[in-house]
């Protein structure tokens, strides 16, 4: 495997359910049935020992923070400069993802939306876009 390339072969029940949601346009998370902590990306277990249940997230978030990547790994060098952002959702959960937008038009606190992004026929991920 070359440096900077991601191995997409991880295939757990949690990853399958996450990917299934994405192919249906849904952002799925898990929530602990004991302490109510929400996990995005989803986890199969809570650190408190409680069981988790699946919930559909409202995909709208606020831009919590971001950075502009000028020197990218070789596998995505053609995308640079690009933005990596942390969005904060209504339930307080924060998640890191690419943000597809003009870096000069970004402002902390602006509304963004987390959307599925089909990379090719076998790979799907998420990205933020401005609302
Ligand atoms: Zn818990």
- Count of other CB atoms within 10 angstroms of residue 88: 16
pLDDT at res. 1: 45
CB 34 within 8 A of CB 46: yes
Q: Give the residue numbers spanning the domain of 63.
A: 13-130
- Which residues does the chain have with pLDDT short of 50? 1
Distance 104 CA to ligand 1 centre (A): 39
Distance 48 CA to ligand 1 centre (A): 4
CB 32 within 8 A of CB 52: yes
Give the pLDDT confidence of 6-25 residue by residue, as tens digits: 555 567 899 999 999 999 99
Ion ligand 1 nearby residues (CB, 5 A): 32, 34-35, 46, 48, 50
Distance 95 CA to ligand 1 centre (A): 18
Distance 31 CA to ligand 1 centre (A): 8
Q: How many domains does the chain have?
A: 1
Decide if 56 is inside a domain. Answer: yes
Q: pTM to 2 decimals?
A: 0.86
CB 99 within 8 A of CB 6: no
Decide if 2 is inside a domain. Answer: no
Is residue 100 classed exposed, middle or buried when 0-12, 13-18 and 19+ CB atoms within 10 A define those classes?
Answer: middle
Q: How far apart are CA 127 and CA 99, in angstroms?
A: 6
pLDDT at res. 79: 86
Distance 110 CA to ligand 1 centre (A): 30
Decide if 4 is inside a domain. Answer: no
Q: How far apart are CA 102 and CA 38, in angstroms?
A: 30
pLDDT at res. 3: 56
């Amino acid at each position: 495997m070359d440096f900077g390339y991601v191995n997409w072969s991880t295939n757990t029940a949690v990853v399958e359910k996450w990917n299934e949601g994405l192919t249906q346009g849904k952002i799925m998370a898990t929530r602990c049935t004991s302490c109510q902590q929400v996990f995005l990306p989803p986890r199969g277990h809570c650190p408190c020992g409680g069981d988790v249940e699946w919930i559909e997230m409202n995909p709208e978030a606020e831009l919590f923070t971001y950075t502009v990547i000028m020197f990218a790994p070789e596998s995505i060098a053609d995308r640079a400069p690009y933005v990596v952002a942390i969005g904060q959702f209504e339930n307080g959960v924060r998640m890191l993802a690419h943000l597809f937008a003009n870096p000069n038009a970004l402002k902390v606190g602006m509304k963004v939306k987390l959307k599925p992004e089909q990379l090719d026929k076998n790979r799907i991920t998420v990205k933020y876009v401005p609302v």
